[in-house]
Amino acid sequence: MDFSVIENVGKTQHPKTYDGHIQYGTAGFRTRATILDHVLYRMGVLAVLRSKAKNAVIGLMITASHNPECDNGVKLVDPAGEMLEASWEKIATELANVNDSDISSTVQRIISEQNISINTPASVIIGRDTRTSSAALANSSIAGITAANGTFKNFGVITTPQLHYLVVCTNTNGSYGDATLEGYYRKLSNAFKSIRGGSPSSDKYVPSVKLDAANGVGAIAAREFKKQLEGFLNIEIYNVANENLNHECGADYVKVQQVPPATVPVEINCRCVSIDGDADRVVYYYVDEKAKFHLLDGDRIATLVAGYFKELLNKSGLNLKLGLVQTAYANGGSTHYIENVLKIPVACVPTGVKHLHHKALEFDIGIYFEANGHGTVVFKDSAIEAIRETSASSDSSTAQKDAASKLASAIEVINQTVGDALSDMLLVETILHANGWDVLAWESSYNDLPNKQVKVKVEDRNVISTTDAERKCVKPVGLQEEIDKIVSRYPKGRSFIRASGTEDVVRVYAECENSTDVEKIAQDVASAVRRLAGGVSLS
């Protein structure tokens, strides 16, 4: 590794032209695309260092997910498909922000502090979304990888979950699946078709969905699934353009605005699905005969999956520990249903996929979903083995075998490496088909508490500090007492605040039994934030 080459290429071809500070947050670097060139170059270099440190292939994804087209971003993916380890987020931030003339010394310091053996080979898998800026940024990362003497495989335009899948398959020598896009489509589609078998248990289930692909990369993947699943599931795809990415469409828009995209021709009580710009989030929704909009978000998907798995585990006789992981944003109605009706343990962790994923790994079968639609299911190897054994064992009854083989196929439909909008959609469709449910039957399992989110702009959002999985505010002092006082006035009142990791705002969440009160709780808590945390205006 020639440090002067790394610095010179950076200085001359990918100079830092932006003076502000850029931070590696919950989802990597994410900001305006025009200021990211030097960051991508340096992340190419860092991916090589990370690959050497782990002696494994590292992923590099260029996307800004549900942000507007003018933004972009990059995140590194660790060998087991996880988000970059937290201690390296700091390293990434430092390397992205140093002056051009400090690149060489910074890289050398990282190598020595992290005990990296520079002779270890390094390899990076690159993917990018459909943004106009993504191709050039991919080239900048390739320049960084090459300057640091690493090798790379560029998969071009792919979804974020496909990148995670490719990293895991490569690092497990194909035991998780073939490290190709064909392997990805084949694995998920074959499992979907095999579990689906005969007709649904009731004619309420109609094998057709309207899918809003957010004008993003998910449209490409959805088209491929549509082809492979012909005769099993009819996927009508909308918002497939290369422009207007996430504009008035996509999972985030639908979740936040609580309306269907105008471009999706909704029909009464028909299942509609929206995914986000890099296809790692999914929400369902429908419109009833009174034109009322109903959202079935990540909480609903989690409870649907949990109920299905619990039933199959019972039928199979397998004694595996099933658990569900949520964040404070999970609707209280869903948590109550999981704990008291499904009787499945629930854990609550801070916002951000990495927290949910890690917690879920503690269970034999760990289901995790954020309310915003990001989630998946992870299985311990020992659980997969036990399920496969039961499905094949002559000691099992036919009913036990049948339940275990359904579980085994469900494992294959799921992209365990990260939340995957399309894989999650196939899982939901599998379960609705198995239960013979339409969207109304799915929604009727429990009632959501009315809820509201608002943002508060403050001078410095870092003055907010929370504990107990973000459910309690410890700083500024006195704010939690104010929140407690406000919510205590309302039945089933709950509210919490946290600093956003992706926007310069403080987020306020409120829920309670009566929809007429929820706005008041949110506004009162927002006022308390403004008063005690230096608020500037409410947007």
Residue 374 near ligand 16G by CB under 6 A: yes
The values of phi and psi at residue 271, to 5°, are -70, 125
Helix (H, G, I), strand (E, B) or coil at 11: helix
Stretch that binds ligand 16G, among 189-197, 453-461, 476-484, 498-506 (CB under 6 A): 498-506
Residue 255 near ligand 16G by CB under 6 A: no
65-94 residues in contact with Mg ion (CB under 5 A) are 65
Q: Which does 352 bind (CB under 5 to 8 A by kind): Mg ion, ligand 16G, none?
A: ligand 16G
Known binder of ligand: residue 117?
Answer: no
| Class of residue 139 by CB neighbours under 10 A (exposed 0-12, middle 13-18, buried 19+) | middle
**Which residues, 6+ apart, have CB-to-CB distance to 320 below 8 Å?**
313, 364, 365, 383, 386, 387
Residue 351 near ligand 16G by CB under 6 A: yes
CB 229 within 8 A of CB 192: yes
Nearest to 213, CA basis, from 457, 483, 421, 489 = 421
Residues in a beta bridge with 499: 506
CB of residue 64 to ligand 16G, shortest distance in Å: 10
> Of 216, 260, 352, 450, which one interacts with ligand 16G (CB under 6 A)?
352
Residue 26 near ligand 16G by CB under 6 A: yes
Q: Which does 278 bind (CB under 5 to 8 A by kind): Mg ion, ligand 16G, none?
A: Mg ion
Residue 502 near ligand 16G by CB under 6 A: yes
Residue 500 near ligand 16G by CB under 6 A: yes
Select the residue whose beta carbon is closest to Mg ion and give its number: 65
Across the beta sheet with 322-326, what order do the strands follow? 346-348, 322-326, 365-369, 375-379
Residue 501 near ligand 16G by CB under 6 A: yes
CB of residue 61 to ligand 16G, shortest distance in Å: 10
Angle subtended at Cα 416 by Cα 298 and Cα 72, rounded to the nearest 5 degrees: 70
Peptide bond preceding 476 in cis form (omega within 30 of 0)? yes
Known binder of ligand: residue 280?
Answer: yes
**In the structure encoding, which two tokens stand for residue 260, read together?**
């269907």
Stretch that binds Mg ion, among 97-105, 271-279, 449-457, 484-492 (CB under 5 A): 271-279
> Of 69, 89, 212, 276, which one interacts with Mg ion (CB under 5 A)?
276
Query: What per-residue string of b and e applies to 228-261 under the rule 16 or more CB within 10 Å gives b?
Result: bbeeebebbbbbbbeebbbbebbbbbbbeeeebb
**Which residues, 6+ apart, have CB-to-CB distance to 221 below 8 Å?**
158, 159, 162, 185, 279, 422
**Mask 206-225, x = binds Mg ion (CB under 5 A)?**
--------------------
State yes or no: is 445 an active-site residue. Answer: no
Residue 23 near ligand 16G by CB under 6 A: no
CB of residue 357 to ligand 16G, shortest distance in Å: 9
CB 373 within 8 A of CB 255: yes
Residue 412 near Mg ion by CB under 5 A: no
Residue 461 near ligand 16G by CB under 6 A: no
Q: Catalytic amino acids?
A: 65
Site of interaction with Mg ion (CB under 5 A)? 65, 276, 278, 280
**Residues in contact with ligand 16G by the rule CB under 6 A:** 26-27, 351-353, 370, 372, 374, 500-503, 507
Q: Which residues are annotated as a binding site for substrate?
A: 370-372, 498-502, 507
